[in-house]
């Protein structure tokens, strides 16, 4: 039995991923709701509000990239709650009294989170195609869009893990992650920022979600990309590094009291 | 000494939780930390199991320093905490295999060890059910089984039966007694004198972050008596006079004193009081409780 070295760390992370994925499967109703809600939002905007919103294209073609980011928001909020559940139950003491890297505990949650979000996003894409979404993307554009979304989901999952570590309870983790669900509404997800009041426009244009949506939209529907691709990459990369550092440092500190 | 702690101190903000605790446990020994809520029992366990850093003092487990070599320490200990640390949405078997794999037993060996422990703790019938369907007693037994997966050299049990019904408590005691027979080194915390008496070779009394007494269960019991007599008087002055005559401890109009529980002793006590012109209103007798221990040994 050796507990040192890279192989041991990889093995611990694999075991913890296994656990998180199994717990996700057993908690199917939470997963179901986190897919159902974005689907309902999409139906609502396509069939109810969409007719009144002018975007210069078929509204569903404008809407889908934003719905995809909304989906990841729901997924990330589940991740924050799962981490908080571990932190506030006796489980964290058991895990931390074992000779494993503390990194493995969060890595398990984050990997399961990325897997959950990928499944949810794929389902939402399929549903959108059924509802009339007609992307113009070729294989390369699809791959680029998927790559950016994965990077965004990874960054958001580490942020969620960090919020789960800070939260004093599962309920407060859910409250803390509320902004991840709210941010898409203040972005270019549903309406063009130009239609917003003057004071809100800069917020909408300069928050991280808008460039990600614009880039995915450009890849999938051929809308102009401008420099949003690079801005999106910078946001996602920066958010990933910051969230990862924050989550792991806070985890170690919180666990050390 | 497989567990050795000197001058452990810990404060949270301005509240001192541990005010300099020394503790040593020999290999194969079972030591109970006995004390009321807030005495600092859990803090000691958390420091020794590397979950909390002491403000001052030093502790080693099997020669490894808990602050400087936490991973080494974690390799030789196990912790069963106050709240069963189990995944509700995994089965009993999956919970065991999870810990086995985190101890790097290998998939096959982890499964085999899980099977043995399920057998030993009477969880065979429920092994493929999710833990959320388990009773409180089953959860604790699973929790204990999980902490045995890696064959730890020192087992920490933090209030292993708090919150259990009497029947589950008995089953848990039997499970722990079996570990004791195997010669495992155990440090347990409890609020129940009976539990400490039943399981431990040596009892350490802890109050307000300090050790107030230590010794074998027999030695402590010899000091407090196998039975307690309570005498209720009409006047506080009578109670104080009674203590002058008989010894024991006065608390208002109540006098509490050690006894061997025989009728002859009770007779002798009452005769002695009568000869002094003292007449208790009511008399009762009970087995010593933690309160009696603390009244007697820390007053």
What is the percentage of chain B residues whose pLDDT exceeds 70?
98
Per-residue confidence (pLDDT) for residue A3, from 0 to 100: 58
Would you call A99 and B84 a contact, using CB atoms and an 8 Å cutoff? Answer: no
Give A189 or B131, the one with higher predicted confidence: B131
The alpha-carbon gap from A97 to the nearest alpha carbon of chain B, in Å, equals 6
Domains of chain B, earliest start first: 3-222 (3.40.50.300), 225-298 (3.30.70)
- Residue B299: pLDDT above 70? no
Residue of B55, B61, B98, B103 for testing the chain A interface, max A β-carbons within 10 Å = B98
Which residues in chain A have their CB less than 8 angstroms from residue B94's CB? 22
Asked if B156 and B125 count as a contact pair (C-beta separation under 8 A), the reply is no
The alpha-carbon gap from A46 to the nearest alpha carbon of chain B, in Å, equals 38
Per-residue confidence (pLDDT) for residue A4, from 0 to 100: 66
Question: Is residue B151 left, alpha or beta, with left meaning phi > 0 and alpha meaning psi from -120 to 50?
Answer: left
Which residues in chain B have their CB less than 8 angstroms from residue A99's CB? 71-72, 74-75, 103
Strands (E), chain B: 3-12, 15-25, 30-34, 56-61, 64-65, 77-80, 154-158, 185-190, 202-207, 210-216, 227-232, 249-251, 254-259, 282-286
Would you call A95 and B78 a contact, using CB atoms and an 8 Å cutoff? Answer: no
Per-residue confidence (pLDDT) for residue A184, from 0 to 100: 85
Would you call A99 and B71 a contact, using CB atoms and an 8 Å cutoff? Answer: yes
- Residue A257: pLDDT above 80? no
Give B82 or B64, the one with higher predicted confidence: B64
Q: What is the mean pLDDT of chain B?
A: 89
Per-residue confidence (pLDDT) for residue A89, from 0 to 100: 84
Query: Which residue in B50, B53, B86 is closest to A97 by CB distance?
Result: B50
The whole-number average pLDDT for the span B102-129 is: 91
The CA-to-CA distance between both ends of chain B, in Å, stands at 31
Is some CB atom of chain B closer than 8 A to the CB atom of A15? yes
Is some CB atom of chain A closer than 8 A to the CB atom of B78? yes
Tell me the pLDDT tens digit for each residue of B28-48.
999 999 988 889 999 999 999
- Max mean pLDDT among B4-18, B166-180, B222-236 falls in B4-18
Query: What's the rounded Cα separation, in Å, for the pair A65 and B113?
Result: 49
Per-residue confidence (pLDDT) for residue A148, from 0 to 100: 95
- Residue B1, both tokens: 């000494």
- Max mean pLDDT among A3-7, A34-38, A235-239 falls in A235-239
Per-residue confidence (pLDDT) for residue A139, from 0 to 100: 93
CA B202, distance to chain mean position in Å, is 11
The whole-number average pLDDT for the span B178-193 is: 89
The whole-number average pLDDT for the span B146-175 is: 90
Residue with tokens 């390799």: B75
Spans of all domains in chain A: 5-48+57-255
Per-residue confidence (pLDDT) for residue A1, from 0 to 100: 47
Would you call B103 and A1 a contact, using CB atoms and an 8 Å cutoff? Answer: yes
Is some CB atom of chain A closer than 8 A to the CB atom of B190? no
Q: Residue B33: beta bridge partners?
A: B189, B204
Would you call B51 and A255 a contact, using CB atoms and an 8 Å cutoff? Answer: yes
- Residue B257: pLDDT above 50? yes
- Residue B199: pLDDT above 50? yes
Tell me the pLDDT tens digit for each residue of A154-176.
999 999 999 999 988 888 888 88
Per-residue confidence (pLDDT) for residue A106, from 0 to 100: 92
- Residue B125: pLDDT above 50? yes
Residue of A20, A97, A102, A109 for testing the chain B interface, max B β-carbons within 10 Å = A97
Tell me the pLDDT tens digit for each residue of A128-143.
999 989 999 889 999 9
pLDDT band at B290 (very low <50, low <70, confident <90, very high): low
Contacts of B282 (CB under 8 A, 6+ apart): B231, B232
């Amino acid at each position: 039995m050796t507990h040192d070295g890279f192989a041991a760390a990889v093995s611990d992370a694999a075991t913890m991923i296994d656990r998180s994925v199994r717990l996700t499967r057993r908690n199917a109703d939470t997963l179901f709701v986190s897919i159902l809600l974005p689907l309902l939002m999409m139906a609502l905007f396509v069939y109810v509000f969409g007719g009144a919103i002018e975007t210069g294209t078929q509204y569903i073609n404008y809407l889908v990239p934003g719905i995809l980011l909304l989906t990841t928001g729901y997924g990330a909020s589940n991740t924050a709650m799962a981490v908080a559940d571990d932190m506030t139950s006796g489980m964290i003491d058991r895990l931390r009294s074992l000779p494993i890297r503390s990194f493995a505990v969060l890595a398990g949650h984050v990997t399961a989170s990325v897997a959950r979000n990928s499944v949810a996003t794929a389902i939402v894409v399929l549903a959108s195609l059924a509802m009339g979404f007609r992307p113009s993307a070729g294989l390369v554009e699809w791959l680029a869009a998927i790559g950016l979304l994965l990077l965004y989901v990874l960054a958001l999952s580490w942020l969620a893990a960090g919020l789960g570590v800070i939260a004093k309870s599962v309920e407060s983790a859910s409250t803390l992650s509320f902004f991840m669900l709210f941010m898409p509404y203040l972005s270019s997800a549903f309406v063009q920022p130009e239609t917003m009041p003057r004071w809100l426009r800069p917020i909408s244009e300069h928050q991280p979600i808008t460039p990600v949506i614009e880039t995915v939209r450009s890849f999938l529907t051929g809308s102009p990309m401008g420099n949003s691709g690079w801005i999106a990459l910078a946001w996602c990369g920066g958010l990933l590094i910051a969230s990862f550092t924050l989550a792991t440092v806070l985890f170690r500190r919180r666990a050390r009291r | 000494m497989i567990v050795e702690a000197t001058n452990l101190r810990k404060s949270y903000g301005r509240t001192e939780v541990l005010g300099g605790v020394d503790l040593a446990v020999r290999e194969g020994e079972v030591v109970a930390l006995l004390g009321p809520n807030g005495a600092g029992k859990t803090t000691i366990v958390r420091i020794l199991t590397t979950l909390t850093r002491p403000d001052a003092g030093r502790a080693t487990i099997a020669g490894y320093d808990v602050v400087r070599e936490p991973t080494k320490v974690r390799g030789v200990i196990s912790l069963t905490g106050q709240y069963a640390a189990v995944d509700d949405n995994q089965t009993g078997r999956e919970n065991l295999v999870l810990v086995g794999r985190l101890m790097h037993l290998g998939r096959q060996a982890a499964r085999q060890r899980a099977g043995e422990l399920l057998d030993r703790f009477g969880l065979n019938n429920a092994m493929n059910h999710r833990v959320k369907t388990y009773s409180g007693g089953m959860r604790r037994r699973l929790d204990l089984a999980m902490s045995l997966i890696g064959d730890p050299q020192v087992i920490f049990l933090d209030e292993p039966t708090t919150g259990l019904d009497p029947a589950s408590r008995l089953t848990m005691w039997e499970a722990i007694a079996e570990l004791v027979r195997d010669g495992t080194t155990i440090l347990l915390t409890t609020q129940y004198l009976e539990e400490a008496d039943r399981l431990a070779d040596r009892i350490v009394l802890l109050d307000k972050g300090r050790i107030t007494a230590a010794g074998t269960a027999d030695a402590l019991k010899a000091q407090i008596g196998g039975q307690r007599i309570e005498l209720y008087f009409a006047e506080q002055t009578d109670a104080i006079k009674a203590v002058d005559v008989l010894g024991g401890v006065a608390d208002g109009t109540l006098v509490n004193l050690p006894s061997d529980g025989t009728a002859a002793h009770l007779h002798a006590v009452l005769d002695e009081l009568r000869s002094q012109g003292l007449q208790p209103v009511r008399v009762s007798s009970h087995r010593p409780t933690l309160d009696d221990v603390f009244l007697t040994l820390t007053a």
